Amino acid sequence: MTAPASTSLFKNPSLLKLYLLLIPGSLIVSAAMGYDSSLMNGIQGVDRWQNCSLLGIMNAILPLGAVFGTIPAAWLSDHHGRRWAMVVGDVIVILSTIIQTASINTPMYMASRFLIGLGITIASSSAPMLAAELAHPESRTTLTSMYNTLWYLGSIIAAWTTYGTYRINSEWSWRLPTALQALPAIINLIGLWFLPESPRWLVGQDRHDEAREILIKYHANGDQGSAFVAAEFEEIRTALQLELAGSRSWKELVQTKANRHRTFLVICCAFFPQWSGNGLVSYYIAPVLRSIGINSQEDITLINGILQIWNMIVAMTGANLVNRVGRRPLFVVATSCMLAGMVAWTITGSVFARTKSEATGAGILTCVIFFASSYNICWNPLAVAYPVEILPFNIRAKGIALLMGSIKGASFFNQFVNPIGLKNLGWKYYIVYCVWLCIVLVTVFFMFPETKNRSLEEISEVFEKYSENPSEKKLEATDIECIEHQRNEKE
């Protein structure tokens, strides 16, 4: 779809307003999980947390709660809209954070973390969809790629908060940063009141006039006669009419060969980054640093804070590269670099285990930073943005809920096993990740198609070629050609 000149944010102030509203109204949701990762890293200095099993359970209980949020997340998003699903998730997170902050024992703390995980999944399942479905086609991928990069905004806030509070000689050393975990949800709850509903969801509810007005207001700066919006709306309407003609049940995720391929990629985008070794950096940087001789809690929290800032810079760079170089090149090159970084990390780890050399310890830290940078330039922005764009509307809510639930499910296993593996196997534990990254690289190379420079509706055509018979196709090429022809005539 050819974009009009008004896609410039300086020429279309309404589009600029929309994107500014999407920061607190959608993108900020990702900061909640980032905050939790650095929060857990920062308060691991508490003596009773040095028990590996307790540490694993404390970290893993939130992802477990998130898994249970998968089905209600999809139902709320499909039946009540993207905005209201996020409202429900935010309210759960805020109330659960109050309980967590007021916890007087470990079971109470763990129960609140379970509920926070449930709320985060409900909110985060709708947030990237709302951003993608409101965004202008030309800037959609950059915007949705930015969603996951704000994970590090929460991570930075938590890292520096815990750096400032660990010196407090009272329970407020952990209660204060714990209370601030509700901040992203509070900001999002306020931002949602100023953000419109997804026009695609409105079309799916036969509220065509409302959807058209939203597109006119933000994509055409209020121009009622915009030929671009007329073509865009017709493409959305035609695609949804064809997609919604079939089933909207969970079974639809695996009913056709094209959808099975999509669902496979969604699961890959959940498990590949979670099981790539990034969890060692995001949740267990403290034990990793202690393993190379950095034991001062002040040094650990300082390194964690600096690392989060660097990670966010790299992730935002990756988000801006997605549309320029494409998805496949980023996936393949970044995963190759992650594999190289993990192999180097493993080798230097084995040397340090024998020599305890400070130079080798510094080498390990360099490998960790290289690995994290390789991960963040690709998997951070694309782990959510790629599934959002490959899923057609009729299964998008369920597919993204599956993605978020799978991410948390993978994280639950990962976060419980990591501290035990690090304690019992040391550097040998990294070999598991080296093998896994080989599997990831092969899968990405052969199974991940390019989706660059296509609208959400046009991307369907990339996958429909995998259908087992022509009748399974939801959006034929002729439909897109017809829409393009109509748009060109109007222009």
Question: Does residue 50 surpass a pLDDT of 70?
Answer: no
- The span from the CA of 322 to the CA of 219, in Å, is 22
- % the chain with pLDDT above 70: 85
171 vs 198, more confident: 198
Q: Is the pTM of this model over 0.85?
A: no
pLDDT for 469 = 47
Give the range among 2-16, 181-195, 211-225, 271-285 with minimum mean pLDDT.
Answer: 2-16
d(CA 191, CA 21): 7
Over range 39-63, report the average pLDDT.
62
Q: DSSP string spanning 275-289?
A: IIIIHHHHT-HHHHH
**Distance of alpha carbon 473 from alpha carbon 161, whole angstroms:** 51
Region of residue 471 (left: phi > 0; alpha: psi -120 to 50; beta: else): alpha
Section 30-48 average pLDDT: 70
pLDDT at 159: 78
Residue with the bigger pLDDT between 90 and 290: it is 90
Q: Averaged over 251-278, what is the pLDDT?
A: 91
Q: Residues 51-68: what's their mean pLDDT?
A: 71
Where in 37-133 does DSSP place strands (E)?
none
Supply the angle between the helices 257-273 and 430-447 in degrees, to the nearest 10: 150
pLDDT score, position 8:
59
Distance, CA of 488 to CA of 486 (rounded, Å): 5
Question: Is 408:117 a contact under the CB 8 Å cutoff?
Answer: yes
Helix (H, G, I), strand (E, B) or coil at 26: coil
Residue 208 pLDDT more than 90? yes
- pLDDT value of residue 44: 58
Confirm if 235 and 455 have CB atoms less than 8 A apart. Answer: yes
Instruction: Kindly indicate the confidence band of residue 480, based on its pLDDT and cuts at 50, 70 and 90.
Output: very low
Half-sphere CA count of 466, side-chain side, radius 13 A: 18
Specify the pLDDT at position 471.
43
Please report the sign of the dihedral spanned by the C-alpha atoms of residue 371, residue 376, residue 380, residue 386. negative
Instruction: Kindly state the average pLDDT of the residues 309-327.
Output: 91
Indicate the pLDDT class of residue 53, thresholds 50, 70 and 90: low
Instruction: For residue 169, give the CATH number of its domain.
Output: 1.20.1250.20
Residues 6+ positions from 165 with CB-CB distance below 8 Å: 172, 173, 174, 176, 177
Find the range with the poorest average confidence among 84-98, 196-210, 458-472.
Answer: 458-472
Separation between Cα atoms, residue 276 and residue 34, nearest integer Å: 17
Reported as a single tens digit per residue, the pLDDT across 108-128 is 988 999 999 999 999 999 999
Model pLDDT, residue 282? 60
pLDDT of the residue at 378: 94
Q: Is the pLDDT reported for residue 470 higher than 50?
A: no
* Average confidence (pLDDT) over 3-26: 77
Spatial CA neighbour of 36 closest among 186, 168, 153: 153
CA distance 352 to 83: 51
Mean pLDDT on 333-352: 94
Residue 377, token pair as written in the block: 């330039």
pLDDT given for residue 284 in this prediction? 55
Nearest to 148 by CA among 262, 282, 329: 282
Cα 342 from chain centroid (whole Å): 22
Angle between helices 393-425 and 70-80 (to 10 degrees): 160
DSSP type of residue 274: I
How confident is the model over 225-243, as a mean pLDDT?
A: 86
Is the pLDDT reported for residue 418 higher than 80?
no
**CA 23 to CA 1: how far, in whole Å?**
25
- pLDDT, position 363: 87
The larger pLDDT score, comparing residue 130 to residue 355, is at 130
Task: Kindly indicate the confidence band of residue 274, based on its pLDDT and cuts at 50, 70 and 90.
Answer: confident
Looking at residue 478, its pLDDT comes to: 38
Question: Does the pLDDT of residue 48 top 60, yes or no?
Answer: no
Tokens of 7: 């896609």
467, pLDDT greater than 90? no
The pLDDT score that the predictor gives to residue 340 is 97
Residue with tokens 């050399």: 357
The amino acid that residue 489 corresponds to is E
Higher-confidence residue of 26 and 1: namely: 26
Cα 354 to Cα 345, 351, 358, 386, distances in angstroms: 15, 5, 12, 42
The yes-or-no verdict on residue 2 having pLDDT over 50 is: no
C-alpha to C-alpha distance for 204 and 213, rounded to whole angstroms: 15
- The average pLDDT across 280-291 equals 67
Q: Supply the range of the domain harboring residue 228.
A: 5-490
- How many structural domains does the chain have? 1
Taking the C-alpha atoms of residue 412 and residue 41, their distance in angstroms, rounded to an integer, is 16
Please report, rounded to a whole number, the percentage of residues in the chain having pLDDT higher than 90. Answer: 41
Kindly state the helix (H) or strand (E) to which residue 176 belongs, with its residue range.
Answer: helix 172-179
Average predicted confidence (pLDDT) for the chain: 83
Distance of CA 147 to the CA centre of its chain: 7
Region 267-293 average pLDDT? 78
Q: Let me know if 319 is exposed, middle or buried by CB neighbors in 10 A (0-12, 13-18, 19+).
A: buried
Average pLDDT over residues 279-291: 67
Q: Are 327 and 142 in contact (CB under 8 A)?
A: no
Please enumerate, as own/partner, the contacts of 365-371 that have beta carbons within 8 Å and a separation of 24 or more: 365/289, 365/292, 365/303, 367/341, 367/342, 368/281, 368/285, 368/288, 369/307, 369/310, 370/337, 370/341, 370/344, 371/277, 371/278, 371/281, 371/338, 371/341, 371/342, 371/345
In the predicted structure, residue 196 carries a pLDDT above the cut 90: yes
pLDDT of residue 462: 74
Q: How far apart are the first and last CA of the chain?
A: 12
**Structure tokens given for 469:** 């018979």
